[in-house]
Amino acid sequence: MNKIQVKTHSQSEFINITPEVGKIVHRQGFKEGVCYVYVPHTTAAVTINENADPSVPKDIQNELNKIVPWDDHYTHMEGNAAAHIKSTIVGSSVYIPVSDGKLALGTWQGIFFCEFDGPRNREVFVQTIKSE
């Protein structure tokens, strides 16, 4: 299993991991297939979104904080229920097609690790499968 180490510095933070995922795909040396990015944490997530204007991941985080307020009479005693809820809404994995040996992302797309309960040391699992 390929693993990427991610160090987060804020409670909420989106970190572009496209270069690290791209390197893992490149190392496999196949042309056509699929790539999966999996987050083994329950207060974090992974998403694909715009990688050009840094205000986009900022707007996504701010709006998620409005939709799922940090304090909202949750029963989970650890105080981070909002992070768990955002993890379920955004999702624990993404799939990206691999074509011609590279991630077949759209022009503006990047892969973001989504921290919702940082700062923490996190890891991300990356798998690839060749399609013949």
Q: In this chain, which of 29, 71, 75, 121 binds a copy of itself, going by CB under 8 A? A: 75
Helix (H) or strand (E) holding 36: strand 33-38
**Would you count residue 29 as binding a copy of itself (CB under 8 A)?**
no
* Three-state secondary-structure class, residue 39: coil
The secondary structure of 47-108, three-state, reads EEEECCCCHHHHHHHHHHHHHCCCCCCCCCCCCCHHHHHHHHHHCCEEEEEEECCEECCCCC
Stretch that binds a copy of itself, among 4-12, 18-26, 76-84 (CB under 8 A): 76-84
Stretch that binds a copy of itself, among 5-13, 16-24, 32-40 (CB under 8 A): 32-40
**Would you count residue 60 as binding a copy of itself (CB under 8 A)?**
yes
Q: Which amino acid is at 43?
A: T
Q: What is the DSSP letter of 12?
A: S
Residues that bind a copy of itself (CB under 8 A): 1, 32-34, 36, 38-42, 47-50, 53, 55-56, 58-60, 62-64, 66-68, 72, 74-78, 81-82, 84-85, 87-97, 99, 104-109, 125, 127-129, 131
